[in-house]
Structure 1
Amino acid sequence: MNKYVLCLIMWGFFCFPSMWAQSKYYANSQVWLQKAEACKSPLVYKDHYPIRIVKSIKDEKAYQGWRMEDAGNVSTLFHESLKKHSGIILDFGEHLTGYFSFTLKMLQENIAADAPVRLKFTFAEVPAELNTPFDPYPGSLSRAWLQDEVITLNQVPVQAQIPRRVSFRYLKIDVLGASSFDFTFDKLVMKAQSSVLLQPSVLANTTDPLIQKINNVGLSTLKECMQTVYEDGPKRDRRLWIGDLYLEALANACSFKNHDLTKRCLYLLAALSNDEGLLHATILEEPEPHPQYGQYCLDYALIYNVALLEYVKTTRDLATGNDLWPVVVRQIEMALRQFSPDMIYDMQKPPLYWLVFDWKDGYDRQASMQGLTIWSIQNSYELAKLLGKEKDVSSWLVLIKKMKKAARACFYNKKTGLVESGAERQISYLSQVWMILSETLTQKEGRRALSSVMAMSEACYPGSPYAYHYVLEALLKCNMNKEARELLINYWGNMVEKGADTFWEVFDPKDDFISPYNFYPINSYCHAWSSTPVYFINKYPDVFQSGLK
């Protein structure tokens, strides 16, 4: 083989990995990748600088036991030896995502640096991240996600940049090594990035001040996660997940209105499905868009259908709806393989798919999956009507009736008015929620079920903002507007009162240290699926922007 041919092969290997990543099931997958690239949102950059020096204060009443207190003017860092200030903490005033750079200068004239300078930068979204030892690391995810960086500089003066993208509000700087000469910063800058261009409309002046804050924190969360895809968390994972896409797109449609970002994500997911046509739950962009192979979440695959419906309803982009319609049909076909002959979701039927729904130990997902499947098929049928394809899937109407009837027979306890899931007949919030959203329960039955479960101390309650989104949806569907408003204030408002400037991946008001990963600093404290107060507050102004208490 000559060198020219070899070079072409190697060039193709490195430049076109998507040719191997794209789905073989859909004939148009390569075209979809091109369409996804065509609507890639440009990033907007803005320089930010630290606004104050702070110090960590141990406080049992503060979130995770730590709070920040003002400790001085940032100008100190540009006039005094950094060696005197090792361990200093800077507050940038808000959560930022992007690239951090700095310049060091000598403080004394006619003195040369006679040794390298070694610095440690620790970036934190919340105060406890700076006050919890990272090592020995007990977490279940990669230690590399934690944002501590050591950099060695051979000379001063020097310009340098932390090589990886970071997401933080607080920055701790430690001097790990220096000689006798004195040096300090000449510049500290964070070049923040997001795809957000449009400023959302202002809420009504009758809106409760706490709800105003909740909306603002939700917008900040959403802005940080809106990069070249809807990222689930800009600090950790930093990839597109279907569940996050759906909720972010709802919030975006009511605020920033970057519909091209939604369109890009829908096309990427479709093009990179597996060779049976089943969607991967998550997509990574570098070095080229590719799926996280083998990552299948059947509830997420079905949620994709609803995300596409909402996009088409919002934009009237029927062309995209028609393009991706085969993906909708295939997700339902794949999901139905997991049902028994009597139309009950079989938790033991191979392949055993991962079902998300919530970060919650001990939560039985069978009834929820039954309800979500019905909900997805109903919404998919609505999409079919928008696209003029309802005759092609008229059998879905019969199927929906069968599944609802089976669900009521298997899961619904008429005596208690509650949905019970699994062999242990577990009572959880989400089992009620998904039977309400799927309209398996009537509005009256739903009101009774929600009122009962929310009064039960022993019921399995949600463990994440993602799950609470659907609880809030169910409350509104049952016309329980007062309870929906109270939930928004008591749950997301609780995070705000604990100091959140972006909403967190997991939050349990009973446990500030909860983590699905065995180590709470690895949690994402700016997480896409937590941003949906923006959707509710703007979608339902009579409920959330009125002066009612």
Structure 2
Amino acid sequence: MKRFFLIAGLALLTLGSTSLAQSAYFSNSKEWLRKAEACRPELSYQTISPARTVRSVQDAKAFQGWRMEDAGSTDILFNEPFKKHPSITLDFGNHYTGFLTFSIKPFGLVAADAPVRLKFTFAEVPGELNTPLEPYKGGLARSWVQDEIVTITSVPHEMTIPRRLSGRYLKIELLGISGSFDFVFDKLTFKAQTSVTNEAPALASTTEPLIQDIYKVGLNTLKECMQTVYEDGPKRDRRLWIGDLYLEALANAYTFKNHELTKHCLYLLAAFANDEGLLHATLLEKPQPHPQYGTHTLDYCLIYNVALLEYLKETGDTETAADLWPVAVRQIKLALRQFSPDWIYDMDKQPQYWLVFDWKDGYDRQASMQGLTIFALQHSYELAKRLGKEKEAGEWLTIAGKMQKAARRHFYDKTLGVMVSGKDRQVSYLSQVWMILSNTLSKKEGAKAMATVMSMPDACYPGCPYAYHYVIEALLQCGMPQEARNLITGYWGSMVKRGADTFWEVYDPNNDYLSPYGFFVINSYCHAWSCTPVYFINKYPEIFQK
């Protein structure tokens, strides 16, 4: 479904990008954009040299069937003629985001009498470098693959590849050269960038080694995605999504504490709401900040309110929260129109909205949306109280109560002790999760529901770390800390054990090749919504640091 909206959104962008108009619904949108730009973070830079050369090794036990092994020093790049090694893979030792600069010079006295053509392929995981790309099968643009062909007509030559790149591995291939000429690299460096400047807190010495590793990888994921907005992924899509913003902001609050970045993103999203005040799910920064027109996800619109509340709680910045309060009010009003007279979310009511929640085929979202709306009403009312705007919040808590009662009548299977969803009465992890987080299920009922669903082999389980974040939240809320710890060490720990330097956009331990886009190479292997173990580890040290 995301494929459709990305393609449709880009088509609409072509039509609407000339004006890049702010929201016509909110009169303050131009001022909000000014405030967003005023707190746009500065980037910090670090020059990285490749740590070693590596070779790809096919290994059925490795993630996606490939791993890297040490192939020696990078000296061969600078001291030996390139024709001797016409394909070299470099390992920078960690995941970085930024720009590659290189220079080449003649090897010997012979001048180049024909252009030199090189191919540079940057990759986040080994499988990207070892999977045939053609014919291209992905549902997103082929141009997201980080392969760049450079033709050099005169040597010596120095250049910076214009495209921003993201990954750990760089494969350099010789595609064309004169028979009488050869060269060596004179320089090859990577200028890495991030808006992170503060150090994250260290963990207690009692912390289990695997959790320490998860923390390290989570911090690296967050650092890489914290650019001038909270990017979803620095390789792809390189833009701000509300769902990623919320989880990144939670993680940032317990680690790097760059609250100006959160403020910047909240204002940007508000400034580009559509003409009825509904937030766009995603926003791009260049050539100027603009939304992906027509892309709306109602669950994300409601999560914006929760993100605004968490920002206020963390910073005490009542000025910003009060400024953006009308946006929160409008998201609630627009969401409530999607409910039936008996307060059940109507999946068929027009306009129909894309609901994210998870990357999972066959997952029914109705019960989850019911629970999330209740959750958002409760948190939005708390925001109102903190701002002294309870009167404007009106009947929100009353409506939330009616939705809870309706949910128990419509979705609760008393025999099984679980929430079901949709016409087929599907049992899923996330249906339980959102009814727990919205307090529709009591702590005792929630614990029973989670224990039941996790023991059901045919239950619809999550497909990505974004969804598993909320599973952890629900387990903690209903008094299951050991299960929460086991899930973090089992799920995120599995990625670490399989070589992750940063956490992946989608991950199913039973399917290395899972992709929402029909081709795993185009997946993001450094993704913002996957970084939240760092939030849990720091917020609950009594659970995760002992």
* TM-score, normalization by structure 1: 0.96
The alignment of Structure 1 onto Structure 2 pairs a total of residues equal to 530
The residue that corresponds to 1:33 in the other structure is: 33
Deviation (angstroms), 1:21: 2.2
Identity of aligned residues (%): 67
Contact 2:281 2:301 in 1 (8 A): yes
Q: CA RMSD in A?
A: 1.0
Secondary structure at 1:449 match in 2: helix
The residue that corresponds to 1:458 in the other structure is: 458
Deviation (angstroms), 1:331: 0.2
1:257 aligns with 2:262: no
> Which has the higher mean CA deviation after the structures are superposed, 386-395 or 348-357?
386-395
Contact 1:419 1:432 in 2 (8 A): yes
Q: Give the whole-Å Cα distance in 1 for the aligned partners of 2:311 and 2:215.
A: 22
Change beyond 3 A, Cα 1:459–1:67: same
Q: Give the whole-Å Cα distance in 2 for the aligned partners of 1:104 and 1:79.
A: 11
Q: Give the whole-Å Cα distance in 1 for the aligned partners of 2:540 and 2:350.
A: 41
The residue that corresponds to 1:515 in the other structure is: 515
Q: Give the whole-Å Cα distance in 1 for the aligned partners of 2:518 and 2:416.
A: 37
Contact 2:222 2:528 in 1 (8 A): yes
The residue that corresponds to 1:334 in the other structure is: 334
Contact 2:338 2:349 in 1 (8 A): yes
Alignment of 1:170-249 (within 5 A): 170-179=169-178, 180-249=180-249
AA in 2 matched with 1:130: L
Q: Give the whole-Å Cα distance in 2 for the aligned partners of 1:18 and 1:48.
A: 38
Alignment of 1:337-348 (within 5 A): 337-348=337-348
Q: Give the whole-Å Cα distance in 2 for the aligned partners of 1:190 and 1:275.
A: 42
Contact 1:447 1:480 in 2 (8 A): yes
Q: Give the whole-Å Cα distance in 1 for the aligned partners of 2:27 and 2:157.
A: 53
The residue that corresponds to 2:150 in the other structure is: 151
Q: Give the whole-Å Cα distance in 2 for the aligned partners of 1:372 and 1:222.
A: 25
Q: Give the whole-Å Cα distance in 1 for the aligned partners of 2:256 and 2:247.
A: 14
Contact 1:122 1:147 in 2 (8 A): yes
Q: Give the whole-Å Cα distance in 2 for the aligned partners of 1:426 and 1:243.
A: 24
The residue that corresponds to 2:3 in the other structure is: none
Secondary structure at 1:262 match in 2: helix
Runs of 4+ in 1 over 3 A off after TM superposition: 16-20
Contact 2:231 2:239 in 1 (8 A): yes
Contact 1:365 1:421 in 2 (8 A): yes
Contact 1:18 1:290 in 2 (8 A): no
**1:514-536 CA distance string (max 9 Å, x none):** 11111001000000000000100
Q: Give the whole-Å Cα distance in 2 for the aligned partners of 1:360 and 1:528.
A: 18
1:162 aligns with 2:161: yes
Q: Give the whole-Å Cα distance in 1 for the aligned partners of 2:485 and 2:140.
A: 35
Q: Give the whole-Å Cα distance in 2 for the aligned partners of 1:17 and 1:316.
A: 36
Deviation (angstroms), 1:392: 2.2
Secondary structure at 1:325 match in 2: helix
Contact 1:19 1:30 in 2 (8 A): no
Q: Give the whole-Å Cα distance in 2 for the aligned partners of 1:185 and 1:247.
A: 42
Secondary structure at 1:21 match in 2: coil
Deviation (angstroms), 1:17: 6.6
Deviation (angstroms), 1:20: 4.0
Q: Give the whole-Å Cα distance in 1 for the aligned partners of 2:437 and 2:421.
A: 16
Q: Give the whole-Å Cα distance in 2 for the aligned partners of 1:469 and 1:95.
A: 23
Contact 2:103 2:186 in 1 (8 A): yes
Q: Give the whole-Å Cα distance in 2 for the aligned partners of 1:404 and 1:19.
A: 43
Q: Give the whole-Å Cα distance in 2 for the aligned partners of 1:251 and 1:18.
A: 36
Secondary structure at 2:247 match in 1: helix
**1:40-60 CA distance string (max 9 Å, x none):** 000001100100010000000
**1:358-379 CA distance string (max 9 Å, x none):** 0000000000000000000100
The residue that corresponds to 2:365 in the other structure is: 365
The residue that corresponds to 2:124 in the other structure is: 125
* TM-score, normalization by structure 2: 0.96
Secondary structure at 2:189 match in 1: strand
Contact 2:241 2:281 in 1 (8 A): yes
**1:194-231 CA distance string (max 9 Å, x none):** 00000111000010000000000000000000000000
Structure 2: state its 5+ residue gaps: 1-15
Q: Give the whole-Å Cα distance in 1 for the aligned partners of 2:299 and 2:221.
A: 24
Structure 1: state its 5+ residue gaps: 1-15
